[in-house]
Structure 1
């Protein structure tokens, strides 16, 4: 199973990019993982919140295949422990899924069209994090999930 992380906009903090890259590299031992950055929209001052979500949604949907299992990282999504998340990953792999796509939206969230396309919604916390931090957190959790599945000593209970 391939895993893709789709993100809106670039990370402007080199430290966060470097930390995220640590887990991206580690994940290569377990699965094919790619992070795809959708460039920030231009001229957003002329767009209201819904117009911006709609335009970002069109870009997100253009990067998703019909056969992909799409998971939105959304504040209203289901919260899982790290162990439960590893089981979530295993369940997706057991179905013979070709590609699992995690999506981090823009500053205002997702358009209705993206919500309709989603197969699942997960929340990393009830707290709000910057989109750049969410990239690091989900990448680390995917890595942690694979180490749990392989009974490796990274995760402690």
Structure 2
């Protein structure tokens, strides 16, 4: 299985880039993982929220294939503990999912077409985080999930 975190816009802050690099390197030992960064939308000042979500959806759909399993990182999604998230990834591997894609939406969330295409929604927290921080938190949780599945001492309960 390959896992992709699909996001719009680059990460700007050096400390977040450093953290992402750290966990992306660690993940190479467990699974094929890619952070795919789509370009920011241009000239959004004159767009309504809905128009912006539609344009972002078009960017996402250029990357998504019909057979891909899509999970939205969405504040209305299910909240899982780290061990339950590890179980979710394990079930996806057992089900022989070829490509699991996690999407982080833009500032206004996802267009209805993305919600319709998604296989499920997952929330990282009831708290609100910047889209750039979510990237680091999510990649760390994927790493944590694989250490849980391998019985390694990174995670403590």
d(CA) in 1 for partners of 2:58, 2:18:
29
Query: Residue deviations 1:52-106, cap 9 Å, x none?
Result: 0000011011111111100000000000000000000000000011010010011
**Aligned-pair Cα RMSD in Å:** 0.5
Please name the residue that 2:96 is paired with: 96
d(CA) in 2 for partners of 1:109, 1:25:
29
The SS at the match of 1:110 is coil
The SS at the match of 2:72 is strand
What's the CA shift for 1:24? 0.7
Which runs of at least 4 in structure 1 moved beyond 2 Å after TM superposition? none
Please name the residue that 1:77 is paired with: 77
Q: Compute the TM-score of the two structures, normalised by the length of structure 1.
A: 0.99
What's the CA shift for 1:4? 0.4
Please name the residue that 2:52 is paired with: 52
The SS at the match of 1:46 is coil
Of stretches 117-126 and 9-18 in structure 1, the one that deviates more from structure 2 is 9-18
Runs (5+) with no aligned partner, structure 2 = none
Q: Compute the TM-score of the two structures, normalised by the length of structure 2.
A: 0.99
Query: Residue deviations 1:35-54, cap 9 Å, x none?
Result: 10011100000101000000
d(CA) in 1 for partners of 2:98, 2:40:
28
Please name the residue that 1:2 is paired with: 2
What's the CA shift for 1:11? 1.1
Runs (5+) with no aligned partner, structure 1 = none
